[in-house]
């Protein structure tokens, strides 16, 4: 039990880590990696230090001397994580690149003193998915000889955060409504078990008496993580929007998911099951593509197993099974279910410390046809902190009747759309990235050609479901991405992201069998600035979406149809913890969103250029 506590505490995510190189210190021998571990201004003796090589999956261990110094005499070239820990302090991690085994380097690691009886805001439990399983396993094997952070004396620790908000939302047609809601987060540790509960609730009611717009959203997630890094997560979402007096009058979406993850042998296995039911959500609009259901039910089961085969080879295999039922226009009930089975395998091969090859093969069985999607890629380490990479995947049919197309429909969210698993026939990706001491930079380009119909959502807020575009069979979509993260001060971190895409070319049939050629464009930019270890922060984002449908048949008396939407979001959070008389941790939040544009829904705004707003404010208390 005590050993498990030490291991769990050792794996806490670092709250503060700084690194430097080329330090003028006599301890640095030729070809050595040396450094010092400090706690505040004082050096820390007898602190455990680990050097973990990410490419070859190797681990070196050391202990600091009376001046807080440590030394690894020989470390091969490669990418490393330097991890330091000591009893009474929160561990820290520094990422380091060694271009040559003969290079001299110096690393300074700063540990923050642990506060007894207080659950860390960023603990191992909250970020464990970001740490590879082999790192967890190797650090756990450090055993009793490792110097680790002592586990809290209390058998039960609980932290709660409660948030309440209210405001107005005018982004929906018919004037929108008044929004009230709240959020509840509970986190606790019972010996070797971590429990997390998150709940989000909101209510939308008409602003004016006799209004026709109302709705509600509920989302609950429960997560349990126990000894051996096993975890179980259960989530449930239920959304409803009542637009009485219109067609359709009710829009609904519910989702229930259970996932399980467990170390198995040298690797890790996962299993996930999900049920989704919707009505009038995917196909809301007079020009929704033909084949989009007015209501549907789907079941999905997915399992995978990932393991390192050797020091240089990793492999993941898995399966996906989906069953889908839908009701379409002029149908009285649900049609016969369609089934789809996917089998996949993917992995990596470390050719050298600077070259990583990626590979994969996906197969799909549906409607009597078998489709294969091979994938390949390479990642190159360039210099001190630069990386470059590229990948390609292509789908083709191997068996099945002539002329039988594997066409499908699926919803997707913008943040999840960059993995080339959204119904593409062909997908190319290239990127260049830099990971420095105080900044990160990534520039990339993706080109995708679609074979399935995809509705791409840009906001997970249920009341913003219309902020989306359709991508159909034949569409080609080039996209540029830019990401930058920079530490503006020791406790201020800023992150800038931007995506720009324009394409189309596919033919879309609306519900009246009228063909249109698709033309889509979007730009999504966000800036997130956080004051670490506090609730203070500033978030800015700007969305520009445009989709035009140009009639294919010139002789048909039809006008161009489309939508154009712009949205600006500003969210400010101010920490009021200095008001000790009110609460130990109190924060105020103000969220303002302004949008304008037209909607392809048959419920057009009176003036597409009119500025519409969503303003909500609230207070959050942590105890």
Higher pLDDT: 358 or 102? It is: 358
Residue 24 has what pLDDT?
Answer: 37
Q: CA torsion angle for 259, 264, 267, 269 (degrees, to 10)? A: -20
Q: Is pLDDT at 384 greater than 90 in this prediction? A: no
Q: In angstroms, rounded to a whole number, what is the distance separating the alpha carbons of residues 11 and 139?
A: 8
Residue 237 has what pLDDT?
Answer: 95
| Domain ranges in the chain with CATH number 2.60.40.10 | 2-145
561-595 in b/e form (b: 16+ CB < 10 A) is bbbbbebebebebebbeeeeeeeebbbebebebbb
2.40.10.340, 3.10.580.10, 2.60.40.10, 3.10.129.10: CATH of 2-145 = 2.60.40.10
Q: In angstroms, rounded to a whole number, what is the distance separating the alpha carbons of residues 516 and 285?
A: 15
**Where on the phi/psi map is residue 437: left (φ > 0), alpha (ψ -120 to 50), or beta?**
alpha
532-555: average pLDDT: 82
Higher pLDDT: 261 or 40? It is: 261
Question: Who contacts 107 (Cβ-Cβ below 8 Å, separation ≥6)?
Answer: 19, 20, 21, 33, 34, 35, 82, 94, 96
398-427: average pLDDT: 69
Lowest mean pLDDT among 206-215, 433-442, 532-541, 561-570: 206-215
In this structure, the number of other CB atoms found within 10 A of the CB of residue 449 comes to 19
What single DSSP character describes residue 292? -
- Residue whose C-alpha is closest to residue 282's, from 139, 454, 136: 454
Q: Do the Cβ atoms of 55 and 353 come closer than 8 Å? A: yes
The pLDDT confidence band at residue 425, using thresholds 50, 70 and 90, is: confident
Q: Do the Cβ atoms of 484 and 441 come closer than 8 Å? A: yes
Q: Which residues pair with 358 in a beta bridge?
A: 348, 377
Q: Is pLDDT at 401 greater than 60 in this prediction? A: no
Q: In angstroms, rounded to a whole number, what is the distance separating the alpha carbons of residues 597 and 564?
A: 5
What percentage of the chain carries pLDDT values higher than 70? 76
Q: Counting runs of H as helices and runs of E as strands, what totals does the chain give?
A: 3, 35
Q: In angstroms, rounded to a whole number, what is the distance separating the alpha carbons of residues 508 and 472?
A: 7
| Domain ranges in the chain with CATH number 2.40.170.20 | 156-622
Tens digits of per-residue pLDDT, 273-311? 999 999 888 876 556 677 788 888 999 999 999 988 887
Could you please state the CATH topology (level 3) that the domain comprising 156-622 is classified under: Maltoporin; Chain A (2.40.170)
What single DSSP character describes residue 289? P
Tens digits of per-residue pLDDT, 146-193? 333 333 334 566 778 899 999 988 777 666 788 999 999 988 878 778
- Residue whose C-alpha is closest to residue 563's, from 576, 544, 579: 544
Phi and psi dihedrals of 140, rounded to 5? Answer: -65, -30
């Amino acid at each position: 039990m005590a050993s498990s506590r030490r291991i769990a505490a050792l794996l806490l995510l670092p709250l503060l880590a700084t690194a430097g190189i080329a330090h003028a210190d006599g301890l640095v021998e030729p070809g050595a990696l040396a450094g010092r571990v400090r706690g505040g201004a004082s050096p820390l003796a007898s602190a455990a230090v680990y050097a973990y090589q990410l490419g070859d999956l190797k681990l070196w261990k050391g202990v600091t001397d009376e001046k807080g110094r440590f030394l690894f005499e020989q470390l091969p070239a490669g990418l490393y994580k330097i991890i330091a820990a000591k009893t009474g302090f929160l561990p820290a991690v520094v990422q380091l690149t060694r271009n040559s085994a003969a290079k001299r380097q110096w690393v300074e690691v700063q540990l923050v003193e642990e506060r007894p009886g207080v659950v860390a805001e960023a603990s191992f439990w909250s970020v464990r998915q970001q740490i590879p399983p082999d790192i967890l396993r190797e650090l756990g094997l450090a055993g009793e000889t490792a110097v680790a952070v002592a586990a809290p004396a209390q058998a039960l620790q609980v932290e709660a955060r409660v948030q309440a908000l209210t405001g107005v939302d005018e982004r929906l047609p018919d004037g929108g409504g008044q929004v009230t809601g709240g959020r509840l987060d509970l986190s606790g540790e019972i010996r070797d078990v971590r429990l997390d509960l998150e709940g989000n609730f909101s209510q939308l009611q008409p602003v004016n008496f006799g209004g026709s717009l109302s709705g509600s959203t509920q989302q609950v997630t429960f997560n349990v993580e126990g000894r051996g890094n096993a975890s179980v997560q259960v989530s449930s979402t239920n959304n409803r929007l009542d637009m009485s007096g219109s067609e359709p009058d009710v829009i609904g979406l519910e989702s229930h998911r259970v996932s399980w993850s467990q170390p198995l042998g040298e690797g890790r296995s996962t299993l996930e099951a999900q049920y989704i039911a919707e009505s009038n959500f995917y196909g809301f609009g007079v020009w929704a593509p033909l084949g989009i259901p007015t209501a549907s039910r789907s079941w999905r089961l997915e399992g995978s197993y990932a393991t390192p085969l050797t020091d240089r080879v990793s492999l993941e295999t898995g399966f996906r099974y989906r069953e889908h039922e839908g009701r379409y226009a002029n149908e009285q009930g649900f049609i016969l279910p369609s089934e789809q089975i996917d089998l996949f395998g993917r992995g990596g091969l470390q050719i050298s410390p600077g070259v990583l090859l990626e590979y994969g093969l996906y197969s799909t069985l549906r409607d009597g046809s078998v489709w294969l999607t091979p994938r390949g890629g390479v990642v190159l380490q360039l210099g001190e902190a630069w990386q470059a990479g590229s990948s390609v995947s292509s789908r083709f049919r191997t068996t099945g009747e002539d002329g039988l197309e594997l066409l499908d429909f699926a919803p997707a969210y913008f943040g999840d759309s960059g993995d080339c698993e959204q119904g593409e026939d062909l997908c190319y990706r290239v990127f260049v990235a830099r990971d420095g001491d105080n900044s990160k930079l990534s520039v990339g380009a993706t080109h995708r050609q679609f074979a399935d119909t995809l509705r791409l959502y840009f906001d997970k807020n249920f009341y913003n479901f219309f902020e989306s575009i359709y991508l159909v069979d034949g569409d080609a979509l080039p996209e540029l991405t830019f990401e930058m993260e920079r530490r503006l001060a020791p406790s201020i971190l800023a992150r800038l992201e931007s995506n720009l895409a324009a394409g189309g070319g596919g033919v879309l049939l609306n519900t009246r069998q009228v063909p249109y050629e698709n033309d889509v464009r979007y730009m999504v930019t966000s800036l997130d600035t956080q004051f670490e270890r506090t609730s203070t922060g500033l978030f800015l984002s700007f969305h520009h979406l445009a989709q035009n449908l140009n009639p294919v048949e010139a002789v048909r008396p039809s006008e161009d149809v489309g939508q154009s939407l712009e949205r600006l979001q500003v969210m400010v959070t101010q920490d009021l913890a200095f008001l000790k008389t009110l609460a130990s941790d109190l924060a105020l939040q103000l969220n303002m969103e302004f949008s304008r544009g037209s909607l392809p829904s048959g419920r057009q705004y009176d003036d597409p250029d009119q500025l519409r707003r969503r303003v909500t404010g609230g207070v959050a208390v942590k105890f």
